[in-house]
Amino acid sequence: EVQLVQSGAEGKKPGESLKISCKASGYSFSTYWIAWVRQMPGKGLEWMGIIYPDDSDTRYSPSFQGHVTISADKSNTTAYLQWSNLKTSDTAIYYCARLEATRDAFDIWGQGTMVTVSS
Amino acid sequence: QSVLTQPPSVSAAPGQKVTISCSGSSSNIGTNYVSWYQQLPGTAPKLLIYENNQRPSGIPDRFSGSKSGTSATLDITGLQTGDEADYYCAVWDTTLTASVGTGTTVTVL
């Protein structure tokens, strides 16, 4: 079964760092782009960026460039999203999603990771 | 701020039809495929439509998509209570970036 399984909920304080994960299985991880999508409480979806695990080619939305880092580990078939200086405004659910390039669509989604940043 | 605009909400009675619009521009919808996603309450988004009007396996034909110029539309016919959800349009373009719509809440009256 093709699936993306994300790490569990996190509670952090402002200024702390965090790395959440997205474990892929059931397909060739290296050859599909993986995106990260933010959903703030009660709000819509926002595309943050995307990575191609085979060569780690990474693209960011201008809204998130410089504030988060997207990475991938081919040996572990896992993609990551990390922050070095969390803000309360980072409180949100974060989804990873696989891009099916032949369909120009995100066909597989992780279950989401809730990140809460509060002092 | 999203560049794809959707109505905040639409509603209809069970068995009726709703139409959700997605308005963009020549640089996104005008030159790329549109996909649609359903997000049921408390769950992750799910792909409903790709390449403007194609349904993945398992998606009922009550859901249909179309595109004309710089706008796209998702139709849901035979509305069911289980269709109550948020719906998003999106575009993946050749510059390796994505645009996501503002989202529409469907309510079954």
Q: pLDDT per residue over B14-46, tens digit each? A: 999 999 999 999 999 999 999 999 999 999 999
- Per-residue pLDDT, averaged over B57-83, amounts to 97
Q: Is A91 exposed, middle or buried (0-12, 13-18, 19+ CB in 10 A)?
A: middle
Is residue A58 classed as helix, strand or coil in its secondary structure? Answer: strand
pLDDT single digits (tens) A86-110: 999 999 999 999 999 899 999 999 9
Neighbours of A53 (CB within 10 A): 22
Is B86 within 8 Å of chain A by CB?
A: yes
Tell which residue, B107, B17, B24, has the closest CA to residue B64: B17
Cβ(B33)–Cβ(B52) under 8 Å? Answer: yes
Q: Is B109 exposed, middle or buried (0-12, 13-18, 19+ CB in 10 A)?
A: exposed
Sort out which chain B residues have CB atoms less than 8 A from A44's CB and list them: 2, 86, 88, 100-103
- Per-residue pLDDT, averaged over B65-77, amounts to 97
- CB distance A103–B51 less than 8 Å? yes
What residues of chain A score a pLDDT lower than 50? Answer: none
Tell which residue, A41, A18, A12, has the closest CA to residue A118: A12
- CB distance A107–B100 less than 8 Å? no
Phi, psi of A37 (to 5 degrees): -135, 130
Helices vs strands, H then E, count in chain A: 0, 11
